[in-house]
Amino acid sequence: MPYPAANQGSLQPQSHKHYGITSPISLASPKENDYVLTQKLIEALKPFGVFEEEEELQHRIAILGKLNSLVKEWIRDTSEIKNLPPSVIENVGGKIFTFGSYRLGVHTKGADIDALCVAPRHIERIDFFTSFCEKLKQQDEVRNLRAVEEAFVPVIKLSFDGIEIDILFARLALQTIPEDLDLRDDVLLKNLDLRCIRSLNGCRVTDEILHLVPNIENFRLTLRAIKLWAKRHNIYSNILGFLGGVSWAMLVARTCQLYPNAVASTLVHKFFLVFSKWEWPNPVLLKQPEDCNLNLPVWDPRVNPSDRYHLMPIITPAYPQQNSTYNVSASTRAVMMEEFKQGLSITDEILMGKMEWSKLFEAPNFFQKYKYVFHYL
């Protein structure tokens, strides 16, 4: 669950553990001014609605609790219909996991929730899209329910008491689903169909990211700032050939690994420093890729010729590793590199006290930014 925004700038013990595939660039501790600048960063972010009020956060937690109870009830009922022994039914379990921006703790006001329903082996996908759908329809809080069974990753979409939720489904090769299940365990992928593996991927990647950063609170605040900056500069879109949420999260996570003791004001600046100078197409990796011998396709340019043409590879940290930025083109990468350089220039000025954080989040002037286009029209 995400932490309230009020804790974002808190003092944290130094990190001494080694994170990432290389040594850190700097282990420097924050200075007093770094904390001051971090507090100013928080104040600059507030007008953009990136922090959720405690009341709305508690509302989300309550909704997820209700959804989790519905899943457990549905699995118990379905288990009875399938004549499982009472001893199994009693402990059959089932659970709702979250992933994406909510699980990372960086969701904004009114954002939707990405969720995953994890069920034991005797609960099938057809049950999820029939009897569970029916159970959801019977709930007074549920609106706009639609099942998208034929999607690449099948999903149920709904509004639950005003919060939009996308629910994926994964059936594990387990008789029961324990409460303390860790989805990062690669053994869980054995004997699963591809749709279940795809459904699990979001949770596995999100959980790995959180385990691979030295300080979760510093990571969260930095990611909030970078996501807002990317959206304000119109480069937050996987579909349009820029980067989506998980890619921005991985870039911020890599920055945190390289500067494990830095606070958010420093990390935002270092983010622009690192990635304005990154020598693409060298991949961004949060950990060494592992081969689990499950024969699933993974990103590996040594084996897959098509992977050699990826221009800005950012590799997910959970098996099967994938490039999250295969849509990036030469032109969109050039736009992002220019934006990284501009971001570095602005944050240089901010750290010297010559500019305010608000400058970083100013929407660029379209006509100024693309003046060369109009020159040729």
Which residues form the catalytic set? 101, 112, 114, 166, 227, 236
**Which tokens hold the place of 229?**
């900056």
DSSP 363: P
DSSP 213: S
Return the residue matching tokens 């989790």: 68
User: In whole angstroms, what separates CA 264 from the centre of its chain?
Assistant: 18
**Which tokens hold the place of 177?**
């689903």
Strands 113-119 and 163-171: parallel
Q: Report helix, strand or coil for 131.
A: helix
User: DSSP letters along 19-87, please?
Assistant: -SSS--S--PPPPHHHHHHHHHHHHHHGGGT-S--HHHHHHHHHHHHHHHHHHHHHHHHHHHHTT--HH
Contact of 201 with 275, CB cutoff 8 Å: no
- Give the separation between CA 249 and CA 209, rounded to whole angstroms: 8
List CB contacts of 289: < 8 A, sequence separation 6 or more.
298, 299, 300, 315, 319, 321
User: Which residue in 162, 178, 170 sits closest to 202, CA to CA?
Assistant: 170
- Give the separation between CA 61 and CA 36, rounded to whole angstroms: 32
Contact of 221 with 264, CB cutoff 8 Å: yes
**Which tokens hold the place of 109?**
């006001």
